[in-house]
A = this chain, B = another copy of it.
Amino acid sequence: MRIGELARRTGVSERALRYYEQQGLLTSERRPSGYRLYREEHVPAVRRIRVLLAAGLSTAQIVEVLPCVVDDEGLLTPGCPELVDGLVRHRHRIDEAIGELEATRATLDTMLAGRRRAD
């Protein structure tokens, strides 16, 4: 599919999709004309990016964490051509990102303490 369809299907603007690509968050093949071409798997890929952005991670943080965000298949993404050591380092970055978010969540929980009835 081309960028317009991906934009419609993800609810993300074309501008944002090009920006993600420019920041290294998203890949695309190109027609000879230069038109970007996407596959089905790019739809959930965009969703993942949006979730992380919505949680307050910057594109710079996401670009470190994302190369190893893979689908249920357990297959390596082209972003992870390397060895176990690289994967372990990526895992560490993911741990850090989770830690930051958990700290943020803890702050919110403190505010909500005694006020929230159910989760």
Interface residues of A (CB under 8 A from B): 48, 51-52, 54-57, 65, 68-70, 72, 74-78, 81, 84, 87-88, 90-91, 93-98, 100-102, 104-105, 107-116, 118-119
Contact = CB atoms under 8 A, between A and B. Distances in A.
15 contacts: A52-B107, A54-B104, A55-B104, A56-B56, A70-B104, A70-B107, A74-B111, A76-B110, A76-B111, A87-B112, A88-B119, A91-B105, A94-B108, A98-B102, A101-B101
Contacts of A56: 56, 94, 97, 104
A102 B87 CA distance: 15
Interface of A, secondary structure class, is helix
B48 A107 contact: no
A87 to B, nearest CB: 6
A108 B65 CA distance: 11
Nearest to A69: B104
A108 B55 contact: yes
Given A76-B111, A88-B112, A98 B98 contact: yes
A54 B91 contact: no
